[in-house]
Amino acid sequence: MTETIMPYDAANYLQDEEDIAAYLAAAAEDGSPAVMTLALGAIARARSMTQLARDTGITREGLYKALSAGGNPSFATVTKVAGALGFPLIFQMPPSRPAKLSRLRKPSAYLRDGRQLVRPAHYQTHTG
């Protein structure tokens, strides 16, 4: 008797929004752009690649290619796809690292006409 092995496709197991969110979170924890791309592709296949093509303005063929194992999508494509799937990219500081309120560039203490500049209360100088 011959045993047949079918390729695994995560899209077949993403049944609801909770599954999709957990799958995408696990892919994000990996930190690899390739893993994120594959995860977005699986989510797109689980929902509807045709609808995603309409929502993003990217052809189905282009989406399949960009979100495949050999794909190398642009950042613009990734943001369009993620947003259309309901997962917009949001950047935030990790909880273990507080945001610095200091400015990268210290403004001049005087305006061009010689008047002294008053710094806003939230401006802090950062040393070291």
Domain ranges of the chain: 10-84
Per-residue pLDDT reduced to its tens digit, 88-119: 988 877 777 655 655 545 555 555 555 655 55
- Do the Cβ atoms of 40 and 82 come closer than 8 Å? yes
**Per-residue pLDDT, 64:** 95
The Cα 47–Cα 57 span in angstroms is 16
**Per-residue pLDDT, 42:** 95
Q: Residue for token digits 């689980």?
A: 46
Per-residue pLDDT reduced to its tens digit, 44-100: 999 999 999 999 999 999 999 999 989 999 999 999 999 999 999 888 777 776 556
**Per-residue pLDDT, 115:** 61
